[in-house]
Chains A and B, each alone.
Chain A
Amino acid sequence: MTKRALRNDVRIIDTTLRDGSHAMAHRFTETQVRDTVRALDGAGVEWIEVSHGDGVGGSSFNYGFSGTDEMTLIAAAREEARQARIAVLLVPGIGTVDDLKRAHDAGAEMVRVATHCTEADVSPQHFAAARDLGMETVGFLMMAHRTDPADLAKQARIMVDAGCECPYVTDSAGALLMHEARARFEALLAEVGDEALVGYHGHQNLSMGVANSVIAYETGVRSIDGSLCALGAGSGNSPTEVLAAVFDRLGVDTGLDAGALLDAAEDVVRPYLQRWPKMDRNAIVQGWAGVYSSFLLHAERAAERYKVPAHEILRRCGELGYVGGQEDMIIDVAIGLAAERAGS
């Protein structure tokens, strides 16, 4: 496989309209999507990810039903984009190749296939389908803190051999400290760097997203995720506007217009934010205890329903080692905590 040529020194993929879907409880409207895409497109962003937060097919009781059908949102984004292209997320076990085909029909040209960091061997079926559709491919190794760098590199190898053009160190819990992130970047680059790009997707739970992005670039990572206003699960993602400003200061060419992104964040995204992702107690606990960031809103809801603190639910989820997709276990944990309290 030959490595994709880059348009700039580094490729910034914006996930406001996908990871941000978690923070919006999956209720993005078509107008919000169009406005955001127009602003990102005008600021020079090359790839814009749009879909339910848990990927295509994610609309469900377990993760939350989409307010607007994601295929409608993808098609609207595609229509609005002048130079930017549309990416979608697909989590095998939740979404299927059928969902991917629908997203492709709606205008998506890249898929990011996401598995837990030790389970890459559920992805080949989806990479093969994506390549058949002529889509560009990225592989998310989620909760990358949950395995060591050498094993993460082996998992990246499985994805690359299956047709993935860019495996990602995906720090779903926002748990990776700088040295831990660096070790993983280096391991992936050593294993697949000759054939594939390597990427980084950060969360701000411990405030590491931007710092780790700089380390990523220094190490040789060439695909980095951001979200406007950090809009994403947990305390959100590395803010795209901050990444643009920081890389500009470093003299790294991202192809992004930092001023236009600041305007986009301030004038387009901020007015529709229901919550500005922040480092509050619950989100910090997620980074600290290594909990999947998307659990946040679900834990808050279960906390209200069962009258137990959300941060205790999240901590317990960390102790039990729950992974992305197990949102149902949040309710189970809350019921258990409520019973413990009643018993004591």
Chain B
Amino acid sequence: MDIPKVPVAIVGPGHIGTDLLVKLRRSPVLDVRYVAGIVESEGLARAREAGVAASAGGVDWLLAQDPLPRIVFEATSAKAHLANAPRYEAAGIRAVDLTPAHLGPMVCPAVNGEDHLDAANVSMITCGGQATIPMVAAVSRVTPVPYAEIVASIASRSAGPGTRANIDEFTHTTGGAVAEVGGAARGKAIIVLNPVEPPMIMRDTVFCMIGADADRAAITASVHDMVLRVQEYVPGYTLRAEPQFDEPTDEWGGHARVAVFLEVKGNGDHLPPYAGNLDIMTAAAARTGELMARAELGALA
């Protein structure tokens, strides 16, 4: 007998939505029934090729379908999601939001994926947040982190027009999530676009302020454990080197520092492997959707 799957939809068949489609179609618990856009596009064509019902009729079309999806993955724009979210909620559909709208609680699957399984709407934060928050959490679960700072370097070609037009949004949201989800008292985020050719693979550096006598072996072990957890949904998530510990200085208020250097290589599903920033977003969204679906299926059983 077939294991039941949870019907889901993708709204916004652009770069992110199309990559997400490839990932969701591999899922053992999610069944992608619908893809909705607002204009005829390559993304809609790809969905139809894959045998998924697709329309340029937008959310109106989607909400007229039977059965309705249980979960919508939104990859349109923040503005579109702000308009769509109340309609999903009214129809009893839950939303995994990949836009920067941030209506619901922020979720990073490796860190707090289990905490919001019944939320009506969850936010996938930002690409830099998905890449770095697991490392901040890996340190903060071992020792207090009064301040954490992340630097995300991405290939210019992987930064879409939305990201470019509002780069402050990235800085604010990611910095806030480093604290709120990562568990640091204070967070700061920096993003750098690099146009080098061939394009550079996404790189992230995580600096955490720690006590002078923090347990360094425990931090290192925790970081390695967390890398494995993220690799479950982003196989190309790797450490470039062992965590680096620097001794306390006056400049750091007598604190020591641990630095974690990451590379995030994408799976190359629809987007090229260098665009690890986009891949980790779609992978995290797929993972989150699966966790929500498993919880629903579990409740049914």
Contacts and interface: CB of A to CB of B under 8 A. Distances in A.
B192 A332 contact: no
Contacts of B192: 93, 323-326
Contact of B261 (A93, A119, A121, A332): A332
Contact of A119 (B161, B193, B246): B193
Interface in B70-95: none
Interface stretch (B9-17, B23-31, B251-259): B251-259
B257 A125 contact: no
B274 interface: no
A329 interface: yes
A62 B149 contact: yes
Nearest to B149: A61
- Give chain B's interface residue range (CB within 8 Å of chain A): 35 or more
Interface of B: 149, 151, 153, 156, 161, 164-168, 170-172, 188, 190-196, 200, 203, 205, 207, 209, 240-241, 244, 246, 251-252, 257, 259, 261
Interface in A30-87: 60-62, 64-65
B167 to A, nearest CB: 5
B164 A122 contact: yes
A94 B190 CA distance: 5
B194 A326 contact: yes
B207 to A, nearest CB: 4
Given A60-B190, A64-B251, 17 more contacts: A60-B149, A61-B257, A62-B205, A93-B192, A93-B193, A116-B195, A119-B156, A146-B195, A305-B246, A324-B192, A325-B151, A326-B151, A326-B153, A328-B151, A328-B205, A329-B205, A339-B241
24 contacts: A61-B252, A92-B167, A96-B171, A116-B193, A116-B194, A118-B156, A118-B195, A119-B164, A121-B161, A122-B167, A125-B166, A321-B196, A323-B192, A323-B195, A325-B151, A325-B153, A326-B151, A329-B153, A329-B203, A329-B205, A331-B244, A332-B240, A332-B261, A336-B241
A320 B240 CA distance: 15
Contacts of B151: 62, 325-326, 328
A26 to B, nearest CB: 9
Contacts of B193: 93, 116, 119, 122, 323
A64 B149 CA distance: 12
B186 to A, nearest CB: 12
Interface in A86-144: 92-94, 96-98, 116, 118-119, 121-122, 124-126
A305 B257 CA distance: 14
B259 to A, nearest CB: 7
Contact of A331 (B161, B171, B259): B259
Nearest to B168: A96
A117 to B, nearest CB: 9
- Give chain A's interface residue range (CB within 8 Å of chain B): 35 or more
Interface in A308-344: 320-326, 328-329, 331-332, 335-336, 339
Q: Which of B164, B259, B261 has the most CB of A within 10 A?
A: B164
Contacts of B171: 93-94, 96
A332 B257 contact: no
B172 A335 contact: no
A281 B58 CA distance: 61
B237 to A, nearest CB: 16
A124 B165 contact: yes
Interface in A269-308: 305
A290 to B, nearest CB: 12
A60 B252 CA distance: 10
A155 B126 CA distance: 27
Contacts of B156: 118-119
Contact of A62 (B168, B200, B207): B207
B172 A96 contact: yes
A65 B251 contact: yes
Nearest to A121: B164
Contacts of A325: 151, 153, 190, 192
